[in-house]
Structures are given as structure tokens and as C-alpha cells.
Chains A and B, each alone.
Chain A
């Protein structure tokens, strides 16, 4: 029965994602009919289709398509990484940020933004480059580096004598998050008003500024993560029994743990570096999928990725359109959309449990 439900859900999500993407590229300040959106994409890839209105072509090609595809990619990555972390920590409330990657990335981004507004402004005059562009790249690189370094710290703190304790890692994650948060706040404190605003907006997440170049880079790295993590499905299932039981089933627990953490750090690091911190997707999507089709990771991981992609595409559309022409940060949308939905699910679940 679970099998059939899982298949049904995955088919449904496979249908929903293209619909969400098409809806997203067609809506915005400039409303563009669906067929035109597809035509513009075809035109961009030099397919033999008629050219569309140059202004529409420009908006679609330079802004909407890369941005929407980036939303799908980031959503899929965050949700799948969240599912893997919840499995690894044997806790349905775990989140990719537990291993310190988000807070480390925030710190890296804060440093980049503050330095970018002062040091880079001078350097860009010498190089003749646009300082805003330089800062964007610096933020992405520093965020990625910060996320990775924080994860390494958390992992090292949780490991002693060749064995990693997930409970210690959880506590270390909290400590590293606090330290990184405090240092980030120092940078916020010394930042000027403009930099401060950028920092706080970055922490709420946004997909503006996504372009094809960035998308290609993100796709190549996140693509690897999306292929790699499902290969650990059976190991993650066994790990839910407990680490020693997984060991008795012939799994090299330490190696699997390290690899899953590394893939997650890579995935979340890239996602955060291109879109800032987008909370809630990594927590709520796997949880929701698990309630619907059970905890088997062979189905949970792909279904979570598909649902995360759709959710983030829809959230980004709302973020762009609800207060148009002003854009609101996507993190606000994911939290406002996700939380009530999540609470209603929990209440349903509680009733079900009370009946048993």
C-alpha cells in the first residue's frame, strides 16, 4: 500500500514541478503567456522556433528562466539534504543547518559584504570592474567557504577515537552556530547602513541575480549531490535502527556518516552561496513527505527533492509578485507558507496518534 502511495506521490510531483516552473516564468510584473515563455527558452537554446518580442525575450532569458530553474535546483537540494540529515541524526526535527553549514556561510557572507563595501570599492576602481558584481561573487565564495569550514569544525568536535557521535555533533553544531552568529553580528555592528541592509536581506534568502553562468555552476555541483545522496538510501534506512545495529547489518557506519555529511555540506554550501539562507524547506519538506509515504529513504529522498523544488519555485513566484514591483525575501515566504501547513499536519497526526 505504501508502495502505491509513494508511486502516486512521485508521479504527482513530477507533473506538478513543470507546471510550477511554467507558471513561475509566466508571471511577474510583465505578464507573459505560457507558450511565449516556452518559445523564448527554445529560442535561447537556438532551437528552430520563431523569435518572440525582444523585450519579453530579454526578461525571460536573462531573468526569469535562470531564476526559476535556480529556485527548483536549490529547493530540491535543500529538501534532499534535509531528508538525509534527519535520517543520519535519527531525528525528524533535524535540519541541514544542524551541522553548522548555514551559520558558517552567514559569517562568510557577512565578512564579504562588509569587506566588499569598503576594500573592494577601492580595488574595483583600480581593476576597472563593477564593485557590485565583484561583491556578489565574493559573497558566494566566502559563504561557501564559511559553510564548509564550520562543518569541518562541527565534524571534528563530534569525532573522537575514529568514531563520530551524532549527539556530540548536534551539540557542537549549536556551539559553532552561536560562535559564528556572534562574529557575524560583530560585522553587522561595524557595517555601514547599506552593508547592514544587505547582510540582513542575505540572511532572509533571495534568488535575484541568478544568471545562466551561476546556474550552470550550481547545477554541476548540486547535480552531483542529487545523484550521490540517493545512493545511501539503504544505509540510511538501516541507520534508523541505530548505529550499532547498522554496523551489525554490515554497514561501515563511520565511512557512510562522513560521506553523507560531506555531500550535505557541499549541497547546502552551494545552495546557500547562491541564494542566501532559506530556512524551513530542509525541515518541513522531508517531514511532510515522510508523513505521506513513510520513512523509506529510497522513496523519501527523490520525493523530497521534487517537492522541495516545487515549493521553492512557488515561494519564489509569490515573493516576486505579491508586493510587485517590490520583491520580498523568499525566506519570509517559505516560513509563512510552510509553518501553518506544518502545524495543521501536526494536529492531524496528533489526532491519529490519539486514536490508536
Chain B
């Protein structure tokens, strides 16, 4: 289990997260949704140890996160950022191989894992390419392969967690679904996945648990049907919606309602 309990995160005078508790369990996909500034990224940073909470605790497999060494942590928790800063002309294979940094599984095994990770994101053909010449979607696939390589099932069975920070923000429709399907595959393989999403329909479609944040607090958490309700969405995002049921999955499908008047956007037009 990777969990936070009653954490508070403060930056200057601003309170980013307040008494927030959340548990990620192996094998499930948790989507975190909420408006900009709700504290989604702060939560992710606390979970991977990049940001410290002033009180409360972060626990990984029953121990405080800081009790694990950085290397042990990196073998269990991988993070896929929204965009990478990498601008040096590594070959794609070399970028993926960076994911093996926390492991000492040997060059031969690492090379196999790199090939398998590239195959898993359908990027085998890119292996010899210069990373800097790839398109945005291709780059994101390469980084997904890198975090897959980082979490690749080793000899010792251990818990693994994948945290994705708006991984679909810069991607086209096909790539958005490709990334989230890969996350689901990881979850099926026993990885605990947390993904920050802006698209509520994607969250409804792919997540086992949806957590809705606002002003650093959890507004609702549970399965998609119980969290993504007309009332919650209107309260948190200030957008009037109608919910339908997805014809195949029966999960909620969010439809944006035509504003009844110009005042609709500030939420006062709810009749």
C-alpha cells in the first residue's frame, strides 16, 4: 500500500493540501480530478517524496516513506511527468535504459527489458531514432516505456506504483487512450496506478476509483458513478452537465449542457 494520512502541505502562506488521506492499492487505477490549483500535483509530489507534508504521514508498505532509501523507493515508485525537459540527442533506446538506473540487474537483462518496454508501447521502430527529432506523442510514448522499464517485474515480487501527472495533456485522441490503456495493463499486472486527469470522461472510462479534489481537500472519492455526479461536477468545476450512461460500460458519460443564459457560467443558473 502507498498511502497518505491527514497530510497538510503549505507553500508560503498558501495551504496546498489540508488533512488529506488517500490510499493507493496494487492492481487498481485511481484517477485524481479537480480544477487547476486543487492540489493534484502537490498530492503526487507528496506520494513520491518530492514534497514534504508538515504533518500526517506517507507510508509505503507499512513503513514511513523516508525510511526507504532513494534507490529502494525508485524501484517501487515511478513517475511519468506531463512533459520532459530532455533536449539532448540520446537515442530512444538510451532514454528507456535510463529507467533501469535504480536497478542493478546487469546490462544484458536491462537490454531485454528496454526492448520489451519499447514493444509494450508499440515503439520498437523508434529504438535507434534520435530522441530530439520525435513528435510530442512519440516522446511521451518513449517516457512511458522508460517508466515501464523502471517498474518492470523483477525476480523479487514487490509492490510497484506508477504516478502519472496529466500524461495526456499534450496528446491526440489515439495517444491519450494508448497511454491510459497501458496504465490499465500495468494495473492488471499488479501495479498501483494513480493518474491525474483533466478529462472527466477519460477518468470515468479508465479508473477503478475516482478522487475529486478541490482547494486541497477531497470532495468525493469512490467509483466513477458515485463521484462524477452532476452535483459534484457543478459544485467543483462550476460547469453544468448532464450525465448519461455509457452504452457499453455503463460508466458515467459527461455531457456539457448548453448554458441557458450568459449567467450560466458562474453557476447561478441552476434552476
Contacts and interface: CB of A to CB of B under 8 A. Distances in A.
A250 B101 CA distance: 8
A2 B90 CA distance: 10
B77 A241 contact: no
B40 interface: no
Contacts of B88: 90, 92, 240, 290, 295
A89 to B, nearest CB: 12
B94 interface: yes
A247 interface: yes
B270 interface: no
Nearest to A349: B89
Of the candidates A250, A251, A296, the one having the most CB atoms from chain B within 10 angstroms of its own CB is A250
B32 interface: no
A132 B123 CA distance: 66
Interface string B184-195: 000000000000
A251 B71 CA distance: 7
Given A250-B101, A251-B70, A295-B88, A244 B75 contact: no
Contact of B70 (A240, A250, A296): A250
Interface string A1-15: 110000000000000
Contacts of B48: 248
Interface string A272-299: 0000000000000000001000111000
A245 B150 CA distance: 12
Interface in B66-83: 69-75, 77-79, 81
Interface string B78-111: 1101001111111100110011011000000000
B128 interface: yes
Contacts of A245: 79, 81, 84-85
A192 interface: no
B6 interface: no
A244 B81 contact: yes
Contacts of A244: 50, 79, 81
Given A234-B101, A238-B101, A241-B85, A247 B70 contact: yes
Contacts of A1: 128
B133 interface: yes
A241 B70 contact: no
Contacts of A249: 74, 98-99, 101-102, 150
Nearest to A356: B133
Contacts of B101: 234, 238, 249-251
Interface residues of B, number: 30
B36 to A, nearest CB: 20
Interface residues of A, number: 23
Given A248-B48, A249-B99, A294-B90, A242 B84 contact: yes
Of the candidates B48, B75, B101, B133, the one having the most CB atoms from chain A within 10 angstroms of its own CB is B101
Interface in B100-126: 101-102
A245 B95 CA distance: 12
Contacts of B99: 249
Given A245-B79, A296-B90, A296-B94, A250 B85 contact: no
Of the candidates A92, A240, A249, A251, the one having the most CB atoms from chain B within 10 angstroms of its own CB is A249
Nearest to B97: A237
A186 to B, nearest CB: 40
Interface string A292-313: 0011100000000000000000
A294 B84 contact: no
A129 B133 CA distance: 63
A294 B91 contact: yes
Given A90-B85, A242-B86, A245-B81, A2 B91 contact: yes
Nearest to B128: A1
A9 B74 CA distance: 34
Contact of A237 (B73, B85, B98): B98
Interface of A: 1-2, 90, 92, 234, 237-238, 240-242, 244-245, 247-252, 290, 294-296, 356
Q: Which A-B residue pairs are the 5 nearest by beta carbons?
A: A250-B74, A250-B102, A295-B88, A242-B85, A250-B71
7 contacts: A92-B88, A237-B94, A238-B101, A248-B77, A250-B101, A251-B70, A294-B90
Given A90-B87, A244-B81, 16 more contacts: A2-B91, A92-B88, A238-B98, A238-B101, A242-B86, A244-B79, A245-B84, A247-B70, A248-B74, A248-B79, A249-B101, A249-B150, A250-B73, A290-B88, A294-B90, A296-B94
